[in-house]
């Protein structure tokens, strides 16, 4: 009986806080081939990283890579604000 009570409380809590949680976080419904996912999970477990840390580090690495090929993005990432007139900044691409 207590298990049922707990599940009802959990359900009510979820219903009350669903929009708040959705506004705060985003879930990406994606999939990775099982073999690769198992390798990643093993690496994360072995070295004590989280999946969020993996995503953040990957994003930073991709930003760094993109900045090497895009002078305006590189300057923005490095904090420069001295753009020349010919250096158009496309804010949509850098956000």
pLDDT tens by residue, 42-78: 999 999 999 999 999 998 898 888 877 777 777 667 6
Q: Which pLDDT score, from 0 to 100, does residue 17 have?
A: 86
Distance separating alpha carbons of residues 41 and 36, to the nearest angstrom: 9
Distance separating alpha carbons of residues 33 and 39, to the nearest angstrom: 10
**How many domains are contained in the chain?**
1
Q: Which pLDDT score, from 0 to 100, does residue 40 have?
A: 96
Q: Which two tokens stand for residue 8?
A: 């009802």
- pTM (predicted TM-score): 0.58
In terms of residue numbers, what domain contains 22? Answer: 2-94
């Amino acid at each position: 009986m207590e298990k049922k009570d707990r599940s009802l409380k959990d359900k009510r809590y979820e219903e009350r806080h669903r929009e708040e949680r959705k506004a705060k976080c985003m879930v990406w419904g994606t999939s990775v081939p099982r073999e690769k996912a198992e390798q990643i999970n093993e690496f994360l477990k072995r070295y004590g990283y989280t999946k969020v840390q993996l995503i953040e580090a990957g994003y930073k690495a991709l930003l760094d890579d993109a900045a090497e090929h895009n002078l305006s993005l590189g300057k923005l990432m490095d904090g420069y604000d001295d753009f020349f007139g010919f250096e158009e900044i496309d804010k949509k691409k850098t956000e």
